[in-house]
A = this chain, B = another copy of it.
Amino acid sequence: MAEPRAGAPTGAQAIDRASALLVAVLEAERPPLLTQLALAHGLAKSTASRMLSALERQGLVARDRDGAFVAGQALVRFARTHSVGSDLIARHRPLLERLATITGETTNLAVASGEEVESLDQVDGAYLLGTRNWVGSRLPLHCSALGKVLMAFDAVPVPPGRLERRTSHTIATRADLLAELQQVRRRGFAVIRDELEEGLTAVAAPLRDADGHVVAAVSVTGPSSRLTPARLPALGLLLIDETRRFSPHQRRRKEAQP
């Protein structure tokens, strides 16, 4: 992360510097010493000492037994909270890989986050042409296959307000959206074609927890030229079939009982 050029102050140079120190601590292969951080960032030891002490006060860094810097409690807690998603990722990575292998296209695992879809994991397909990396990205609910699944199966409510028209094919009225979600429930999977972006098609199906609640969705995405309408029903059924094999629904419950 480049710091701003020497010259006009930004009113946040110290914050840029301290943030760069924090990122260095987080990305270090082994916990760095204060002197090492000062040297690497062109800071006086006294400056580095004050900055790291401030980060330490706020729980962003801590010192290990050697006095070297590691992530602090605030970040460890953040990582733990994030690991809820990571466990979901780890458990379903084989599913994404398998679907990518079978279909040759990019697959994604996503959850609802606020009034959007958040992609947690992605396995790229065999083609050079496919979606760019969506992990960490947010997608709208109403015009993504993932979002339609999450709404249809009550993982997230249909958001209020107007629907953004991303392309001329995007669903833009609430009535059309509700009708579409009815279809998704009936079929068990969702489809978009040129709704999120021209030339982009996706199919998605729900992932359920042990109680049968939908907690995430899995999709296959690719260019509309490859994912032709004729292929979509079979893709949908494939997703349903493969996701059911991965769900803990019922089978896991029996195992859990003493």
Say yes or no: A16-B79 contact (C-beta < 8 A), given A23-B74, A90-B87, A136-B73. Answer: no
Number of A residues, CB within 8 Å of B? 49
| One of B65, B77, B78, B89 near A138 (C-beta < 8 A) | B65
CB neighbours (8 Å) of A23 from chain B are 58-60, 74
A55 & B87 in contact (Cβ 8 Å cutoff): no
A27 & B74 in contact (Cβ 8 Å cutoff): yes
CB neighbours (8 Å) of A27 from chain B are 74, 77-78
| One of B12, B90, B138 near A83 (C-beta < 8 A) | B90
| One of B19, B20, B58, B82 near A1 (C-beta < 8 A) | B58
CB neighbours (8 Å) of A71 from chain B are 78, 82
Query: CA of A83 to CA of B88 in the docked complex: distance in angstroms?
Result: 11
List the one stretch of A46-54, A142-150, A176-184, A204-212 in contact with chain B: A46-54
B83 & A89 in contact (Cβ 8 Å cutoff): yes
Q: Mark A80-120, 1 if CB is under 8 A from B, else 0.
A: 10110011011000000000000000000000001010000
CB neighbours (8 Å) of A14 from chain B are 12, 14-15
A11 within 8 A of B: yes
A75 & B75 in contact (Cβ 8 Å cutoff): yes
Q: Mark A17-35, 1 if CB is under 8 A from B, else 0.
A: 0111011001100110000
Q: A23-B58, A76-B82, A83-B90 are in contact. List 11 more A-B contacts (CB 8 A).
A: A10-B50, A10-B53, A14-B15, A15-B15, A18-B18, A18-B19, A19-B55, A19-B58, A65-B140, A80-B86, A87-B87
A-B pairs with beta carbons under 8 Å apart, 21 shown: A1-B58, A11-B47, A12-B18, A12-B50, A12-B53, A15-B50, A22-B58, A22-B60, A23-B60, A23-B74, A27-B77, A27-B78, A30-B114, A64-B138, A65-B138, A65-B140, A78-B79, A79-B79, A82-B83, A83-B90, A87-B90
